[in-house]
């Protein structure tokens, strides 16, 4: 890929950064589309890892060769084994607290319902008013189901919730506070430890949506005292379209949590075929139906890459990539009507940057026609999602150059 000559200063800087990038060899580990000039949607759907072709072929061989025996021999324990690996490499979670299961939506539903049931007598769920739609929709519907109220935390569209708001709006009436570690729109990076402590001070449980941070931002759920978390695996964990999500439940909270979708895989003895449901001990009680063994395979190869690279190095490159976008906005992109719709401070920003523009939707459509793939986020946001292990600095310069030309057009 050749950096765009429409932004020569940025292109020259990109060449320097790529030459010094210790993570540059990882780009060859992914399945690439030579027709894509710049992929700015790694925070929505990560590129596939090339090694996954062999892994999927091996699974087919095991499936065909072992048939039903595969469940006893390896697959039954996969949700917890893969969960432990996600926890150790990306979440700062000790074993026995992460499990791979349903979709993000279903796991959020389970944990929200379980959390409010674990705090009887409290009649509110708190959530910020710009959280991801699924999170907000679920909170509204669960509040209706359970006769609760929703406490909306107002946040700026280029930021996120702050400690003073949690102190003011989360009270002894709050059963659960639900927030995102990284805002899907702005990329705002929340202070998880502080916000969690403030909610705990008034006795509320806290559930963190880590979909836009897992695999991009180092996370320390155990050390931060987090109660619950849910994340997807098709963004920075490159699990592929429809890959299953994961749930984290703090070990000390597991015995009192009763999730509402009581399927056979979460039972104490699934093959007893008992008359009544008895939850499994530990994190397995979060499971419901038969887990997707096929769906877990691709993320394993990305976890291998993360283990080799190390999350500190992944985060350092993520910051460098997003800083390049902000620097371009202040430099060669100035005068094009673009604004920064993300936090300027990199310590308050996750792995994507959103640029505001009055004609953003049309600009994104034009960019896609030229094989540069950002995301449009209403109202007026061009979201630049940068997956550190699969993205070069030259790719960023090239893509921003095309976006500049699309604006001028």
pLDDT at residue 1 in the model = 45
Active-site choice (119, 132, 304, 348): 132
**CB-CB contact of 382 with 364 (8 Å):** yes
* Residue 248 designated active-site: no
pLDDT digits (tens, 9 = 90+) for 191-201: 999 999 999 99
Active-site choice (234, 236, 248, 393): 234
What's the chain's average pLDDT?
A: 96
pLDDT at residue 409 in the model = 87
Give 230's pLDDT tier (boundaries 50, 70, 90).
very high
Percentage of the chain surpassing pLDDT 90? 97
Per DSSP, the three-state class of 324 is helix
pLDDT digits (tens, 9 = 90+) for 112-125: 999 999 999 999 99
pLDDT digits (tens, 9 = 90+) for 366-398: 999 999 999 999 999 999 999 999 999 999 999
Q: What is d(CA 56, CA 222) in angstroms, rounded to the nearest whole number?
A: 33
Active-site choice (18, 383, 393, 398): 383
> DSSP letter string over 119-148?
STT--EEEEETTS-HHHHHHHHHHHHHHT-
Model-level pTM? 0.96
* Residue 234 designated active-site: yes
Spatial CA neighbour of 85 closest among 341, 278, 314, 306: 306
Percentage of the chain surpassing pLDDT 70? 99
H or E element, residue 54: helix 52-66
Q: Is the pLDDT of residue 216 over 60?
A: yes
How large is the average pLDDT for residues 61-84?
96
Active-site choice (13, 235, 349, 377): 235
How large is the average pLDDT for residues 133-143?
98
How large is the average pLDDT for residues 53-58?
97
Burial class (CB in 10 A: 0-12, 13-18, 19+), 223: exposed
Q: Is the dihedral of CA 257, 261, 262, 265 positive or negative?
A: negative
pLDDT at residue 32 in the model = 87
pLDDT at residue 6 in the model = 83
Q: Is the pLDDT of residue 139 over 90?
A: yes
pLDDT digits (tens, 9 = 90+) for 231-281: 999 999 999 999 999 999 999 999 999 999 999 999 999 999 989 999 999
DSSP conformational letter for 280: P
pLDDT digits (tens, 9 = 90+) for 1-45: 444 568 999 999 999 999 999 999 999 999 989 899 999 999 999
Cβ atoms < 10 Å from Cβ of 278: 13
Compute the chain's Rg from CA coordinates: 22
Active-site choice (41, 135, 158, 209): 209
* Residue 132 designated active-site: yes
pLDDT digits (tens, 9 = 90+) for 311-335: 999 999 999 999 999 999 999 999 9
pLDDT at residue 2 in the model = 47
């Amino acid at each position: 890929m050749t950096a765009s000559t429409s932004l020569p200063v940025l292109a020259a800087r990109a060449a320097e950064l790529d030459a010094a990038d210790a993570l540059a060899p990882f780009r060859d580990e992914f399945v690439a589309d030579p027709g894509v000039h710049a992929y700015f949607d790694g925070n929505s759907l990560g590129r596939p890892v090339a090694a996954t072709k062999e892994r999927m072929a091996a699974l087919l061989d095991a499936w065909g060769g072992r048939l039903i025996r595969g469940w006893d021999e390896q697959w039954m324990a996969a949700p917890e084994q893969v969960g432990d690996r996600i926890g150790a490499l990306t979440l700062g979670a000790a074993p026995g607290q992460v499990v791979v299961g349903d979709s993000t939506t279903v796991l959020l539903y389970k944990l929200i319902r379980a959390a409010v049931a674990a705090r009887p007598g409290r009649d509110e769920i708190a959530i910020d008013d710009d959280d991801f739609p699924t999170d907000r929709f679920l909170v509204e519907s669960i509040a209706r189901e359970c006769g609760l109220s929703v406490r909306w935390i107002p946040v700026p569209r280029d930021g996120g919730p702050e400690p003073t708001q949690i102190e003011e709006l989360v009270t002894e009436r709050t059963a659960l506070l639900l927030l995102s570690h990284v805002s899907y729109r702005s990329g705002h990076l929340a202070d998880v430890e502080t916000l969690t402590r403030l909610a705990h001070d008034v006795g509320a449980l806290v559930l963190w949506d880590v979909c836009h941070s897992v695999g991009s931002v180092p996370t320390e759920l155990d050390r931060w005292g987090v109660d619950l978390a849910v994340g997807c695996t098709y963004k920075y964990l490159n699990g592929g379209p429809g890959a299953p999500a994961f749930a984290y439940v703090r070990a000390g909270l597991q015995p009192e949590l009763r999730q509402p979708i009581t399927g056979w895989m979460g039972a104490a003895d699934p093959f007893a075929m008992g008359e009544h449901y008895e939850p499994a001990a530990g994190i397995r009680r979060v499971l419901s139906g038969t887990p997707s063994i096929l769906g877990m395979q691709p993320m394993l190869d990305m976890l291998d890459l993360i283990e080799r690279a190390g999350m500190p190095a992944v985060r350092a490159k993520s910051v460098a990539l997003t800083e390049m976008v902000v620097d371009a906005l202040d430099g060669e992109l100035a005068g094009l009507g673009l604004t920064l719709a993300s936090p300027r401070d990199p310590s308050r920003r996750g792995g994507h940057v959103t640029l505001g523009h009055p004609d953003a939707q049309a600009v994104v459509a034009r960019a896609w026609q030229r094989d540069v793939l950002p995301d449009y986020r209403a109202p007026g946001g061009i979201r630049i999602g940068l997956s550190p292990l699969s993205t070069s600095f030259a790719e960023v310069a090239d893509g921003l150059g095309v976006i500049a030309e699309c604006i001028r057009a």
